[in-house]
Structure 1
């Protein structure tokens, strides 16, 4: 084989030998892309290699590649009919810009992966920006006179489409969603799709200056979005696999679609049609995208931050101590209310009752109204008795013991009685209501069947000349709780609802 090696480059033959017999070290041969002939040679058996070399020894070795994607770039003018250059993405991870006349390579750029979608903006002779979505799930941004990518956008899934709308790059992913990015890689918004995205393209209505994104979905819908707002939905009999919007014949705005079942659909946009964003997808409010005017950090803020960093443990312990003390005081107050029968709600779940007492009148005769409520979900209560415990020297009640009617759940039942003050020296005392409420029924023999709910009413003396109405008290020098006005003296104790 030694005479036949003269028609091959030494570097290619060294790489062939290393690939056949195995490299001796990782730096034995530089990474050189092989041609199609070299790849076929390496796949042959040892007995067939000599015949293959004899057949191709007179042919020069050329490295050919495959075009994976292409687009156009304006040469020096931005007019619609201006000359454009062809931009190619190849299988060997390169981007080539071809001359429109001689078809020579004007620029060559390298990528970390194979490009599958391309989007360009600008002019080749002035300034241009190129975005390439690659198979590794990233989008690379390149500018004029740059051999390597300047920015990189990492996606969470593989891209299925790439469209540039003004200064926003709209990317469709395999996660059934559209994403909007800036040219520097900042994520602007995300819109979720109802089905997988099959194809994407740009809709540009030049007469109205509208640019939108068209997305063909697997459920037979073609959705048109302006940013993240949904403009229109076109339903087709089959899933759309490709889209193209532009001039067709004498119509400037025509949409041509091909379906999965080899169908062709042509739709012409009315010249009076106006897209409305009222049916947009629900998303975050516009105020969320506004920047907050965060004030500058003052010296006091910096000092407080340093103090919290240094004494954070001590501050947390102090807070926990105060919290435990608050819980302890609340528990003690609750236990004291239960022991003194001051709770207006029954402590037993067997008879769920709620008591509320209201004192009305100027004296010496007062009106005492008890509001009794059954707080159970669906069980009525029957056979309750109410009694009043009071000092018979100071007060007189015409009815100190009477029966309660049937209590329907959720309703408040008023029970009224009158109290007459017998003392003319201004002495007042408390009246206990409940004492307890005894349940009369089939199971009322046990001590646990008593509804332990009580209330205490402190009645004023006739000399106070007080007017008590519900939870409001009116007296010279005191406050009126209902109106919310505050004075020096606190309200009377009997003004509070029980």
Structure 2
């Protein structure tokens, strides 16, 4: 009953915040979040949805454009798309964005839905042994079977990986090898990497309609930043693994940060003019989602967890999710200044999180594989979802929707994560800082001098306490004793219990005396001086005496206890007992 009530309440909550605009279970869209983009392609204020469709076979890849609930146009793609972004290439009027589609080693750029430019990744070094083998096949010196055997031996030993042609050839059946060799042997051998992820970076302005550079990650473990007009490589950075997810913020000419999730389970943060990553986040599982929310980085992993990190790589919080993460996307409601992260789960739910707080849960008819939030048509806050079965789901966020933070994870309260309003630096603070910089050596010497004096005073006090036996623990190895006391009663009659223990290993203590020093106008002790029996090592000996308070003024004093050896005036150890106020006399 509880689970059904929870699901119904969540369903009601999602329906209260979202309007169901459209659902087509047979739209035939096989895509992911990285291949969905929303753009005003014609500059008329009517935003279209551009989708890189992977199709259901090796030759059905298409670039589809949707307007409203129907498909507007489509273009065939030669390879699987790995990223689709909309970006402005120049300042020319009309300000209509171009569409960049990453597919294989190429970036296809479309303007006005027509092919405009094709960028090709720079070729990589070919294995010389592989090239020599293909040259022999070109001259018909070796047959296809021998060619396959030689390529396999090269693959196992070579430092430079084989080209795509050789890898495809080794996957073929025996009857298909000869035709493949005859088709490709006369073509020059190339080793080309492919694009794994793509994003955009503002060139020199932070405006929405600013010119953007393309940022791409490749299978060879490199990042490229491309010029938006000439499509030349502006920056090239090598990574220790293959990048799979990208998040970019800032401006190229001023300052930017690129957050990259790689296949080795690490997330790297790069800054401008850095040849290597500035920060590294090491995770125990593969990264399946990466979204930047304001200054924090949200990372979803394959262990059903959502982590929050600062932009310097410090972990802030962790949320355990009820199912595996399928995809993640940013929800930004600009009219209210709200930013949150959408997380599509395998249990047919989409969760909305702001930091670690769950804001909303959307139930879906199928597993969501693609998410995109933004302006679609003429509606600002539209959520587009594509499902595993190829369906298309469109929801609109109500203008009256209110999100309340629900902290579902154990840990400190939400208010603890709110940043303090730290005041600005005052002139006094700045002057003090300058003084410390100028006089650092002299101030350090004064500090060290005061520290040495403090240590000397403490050492002198300690030696004095040992010499006078003012501590409740004996300092002599001949008589290793400990003493602690307890006072019982509320007055005027008290019971004083002394616990005396011999801490030596095998040596008993004999001929010991206990004496008390106190103000005779306040207290009477019976007895105030007595002998201590033989103390066996390791045993605790409780010794009690009676204390009577003689004053009715509601005051108290200290009673000193001395443990002495017969014939010596210097005590072995001393204890000071703070007597309580006699409540009986005060009440009378």
TM (norm. structure 1) is 0.53
**2:224 matched to which residue of 1?**
96
Question: Quick one: structure 1 residues 268 and 301, their matched pair in 2 at CA, closer, same or farther if it must change by over 3 Å?
Answer: farther
Q: 2 CA distance for matches of 1:238 and 1:46?
A: 42
Q: 1 CA distance for matches of 2:194 and 2:226?
A: 15
**1:452 matched to which residue of 2?**
none
Measured after TM superposition, the shift of residue 177 of structure 1 is 2.1
Measured after TM superposition, the shift of residue 169 of structure 1 is 1.1
**1:248 matched to which residue of 2?**
376
Question: Quick one: structure 1 residues 231 and 92, their matched pair in 2 at CA, closer, same or farther if it must change by over 3 Å?
Answer: same
Question: Quick one: structure 1 residues 54 and 154, their matched pair in 2 at CA, closer, same or farther if it must change by over 3 Å?
Answer: same
Measured after TM superposition, the shift of residue 174 of structure 1 is 2.1
Asked whether 1:193 is paired with 2:313, we answer no
Correspondent of 2:555 among 482, 486, 490 = 486
Q: 1 CA distance for matches of 2:406 and 2:179?
A: 72
Correspondent of 1:183 among 289, 299, 311 = 311
Instruction: Note if contact 2:155-2:162 (Cα within 8 Å) is conserved in structure 1.
Output: no
Measured after TM superposition, the shift of residue 139 of structure 1 is 0.6
Q: 2 CA distance for matches of 1:40 and 1:121?
A: 38
**2:295 matched to which residue of 1?**
167
Measured after TM superposition, the shift of residue 254 of structure 1 is 0.9
Q: 1 CA distance for matches of 2:582 and 2:184?
A: 115
Q: 2 CA distance for matches of 1:321 and 1:18?
A: 85
Q: 1 CA distance for matches of 2:216 and 2:295?
A: 22
SS at the partner of 2:398?
A: coil
> In terms of Rg, which structure is larger?
1
Instruction: Note if contact 2:213-2:225 (Cα within 8 Å) is conserved in structure 1.
Output: yes
Asked whether 1:79 is paired with 2:207, we answer yes
Question: Quick one: structure 1 residues 219 and 104, their matched pair in 2 at CA, closer, same or farther if it must change by over 3 Å?
Answer: same
Q: CA RMSD in A?
A: 4.9
Instruction: Note if contact 1:230-1:281 (Cα within 8 Å) is conserved in structure 2.
Output: no
Question: Quick one: structure 1 residues 492 and 207, their matched pair in 2 at CA, closer, same or farther if it must change by over 3 Å?
Answer: closer
Asked whether 1:118 is paired with 2:246, we answer yes
Instruction: Note if contact 1:163-1:200 (Cα within 8 Å) is conserved in structure 2.
Output: yes
Instruction: Note if contact 2:216-2:224 (Cα within 8 Å) is conserved in structure 1.
Output: yes
Measured after TM superposition, the shift of residue 119 of structure 1 is 0.2
Correspondent of 2:360 among 232, 252, 261 = 232
Measured after TM superposition, the shift of residue 234 of structure 1 is 2.5
Q: 2 CA distance for matches of 1:266 and 1:58?
A: 50
**1:434 matched to which residue of 2?**
none
Q: Which runs of 5+ in 2 are unaligned?
A: 1-125, 135-148, 421-442, 489-494, 496-545, 558-578
Measured after TM superposition, the shift of residue 86 of structure 1 is 2.7
**2:59 matched to which residue of 1?**
none
Measured against aligned partners, the alpha-carbon deviations of 1:339-373 in whole angstroms (never above 9, x if no partner) come to: xxx9xxxxxxxxxxxxxxxxxxxxxxxxxxxxxxx
Question: Quick one: structure 1 residues 117 and 304, their matched pair in 2 at CA, closer, same or farther if it must change by over 3 Å?
Answer: farther
Q: 1 CA distance for matches of 2:383 and 2:580?
A: 80
Instruction: Note if contact 1:72-1:84 (Cα within 8 Å) is conserved in structure 2.
Output: yes
Instruction: Note if contact 1:478-1:491 (Cα within 8 Å) is conserved in structure 2.
Output: no
**2:111 matched to which residue of 1?**
none
Q: Which runs of 5+ in 1 are unaligned?
A: 1-7, 335-341, 343-457, 459-472, 480-484
Question: Quick one: structure 1 residues 275 and 324, their matched pair in 2 at CA, closer, same or farther if it must change by over 3 Å?
Answer: farther
**1:132 matched to which residue of 2?**
260
SS at the partner of 1:265?
A: strand
Instruction: Note if contact 1:478-1:487 (Cα within 8 Å) is conserved in structure 2.
Output: no
Question: Quick one: structure 1 residues 15 and 147, their matched pair in 2 at CA, closer, same or farther if it must change by over 3 Å?
Answer: farther
SS at the partner of 1:39?
A: helix
Q: 1 CA distance for matches of 2:398 and 2:241?
A: 42
Asked whether 1:215 is paired with 2:343, we answer yes
Measured after TM superposition, the shift of residue 109 of structure 1 is 2.3
Question: Quick one: structure 1 residues 126 and 60, their matched pair in 2 at CA, closer, same or farther if it must change by over 3 Å?
Answer: farther
Q: 1 CA distance for matches of 2:481 and 2:352?
A: 59
Q: 2 CA distance for matches of 1:96 and 1:491?
A: 80
**2:163 matched to which residue of 1?**
35
Instruction: Note if contact 1:96-1:105 (Cα within 8 Å) is conserved in structure 2.
Output: yes
